[in-house]
């Protein structure tokens, strides 16, 4: 497996991006402060990335922040979507990540049982 193989991916992706203007629809932010990491945020982040790959979600960006979230609810995840309030999930597990992606990201239906905050 060679790093140069990325060139092939690039050519294909660039053709597609021209068609869509490459704009992200949704940004997923995982809290990666010390307490978040200790509570399992790395696995949460990894499963989000895997879901983006598996479902081929080209308009979703997964990123992280070191800012302290709500320590008693770590791991904490924020979903930012254009023209919509920010939805914050708490006590996120890999299993919940799969539900968030399937229900919220793909079908615009937040998993309300785990929403700990809604910010305008």
**What residue ranges bind another protein (CB under 8 A)?**
1, 3-7, 9-10, 12-14, 17, 22, 30, 32-35, 37-38, 42-43, 45-46, 49-50, 52-58, 60-64, 66, 68
Instruction: Write phi, then psi, for 79 (nearest 5 degrees).
Output: -115, 115
Give min distance, CB of 113 to another protein, in A: 26
- First-to-last alpha carbon distance for the chain, in angstroms, is 45
| Residue with smaller CB distance to another protein, 38 or 118 | 38
Which parts of 1-120 are beta strand (E)? 26-31, 60-65, 77-81, 86-89, 115-119
Tokens coding 18: 């021209």
Tokens coding 50: 């895997």
Give min distance, CB of 67 to another protein, in A: 8
Give min distance, CB of 60 to another protein, in A: 8
| Residue with smaller CB distance to another protein, 13 or 118 | 13
Tokens coding 37: 């990491």
């Amino acid at each position: 497996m060679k790093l140069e193989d990325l060139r092939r991916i690039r050519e294909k992706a660039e053709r597609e991006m021209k068609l869509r203007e490459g704009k992200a629809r949704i940004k997923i932010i995982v809290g990666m402060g010390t307490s978040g990491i200790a509570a399992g945020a790395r696995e949460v982040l990894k499963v989000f990335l895997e879901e983006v790959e598996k479902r081929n979600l080209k308009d979703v960006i997964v990123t992280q922040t070191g800012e302290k979230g709500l320590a008693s609810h770590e791991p904490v995840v924020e979903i930012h979507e254009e023209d919509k309030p920010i939805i914050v999930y708490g006590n996120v597990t890999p299993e919940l990540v799969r539900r968030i992606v399937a229900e919220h990201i793909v079908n615009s239906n937040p998993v309300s049982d785990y929403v700990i905050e809604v910010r305008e």
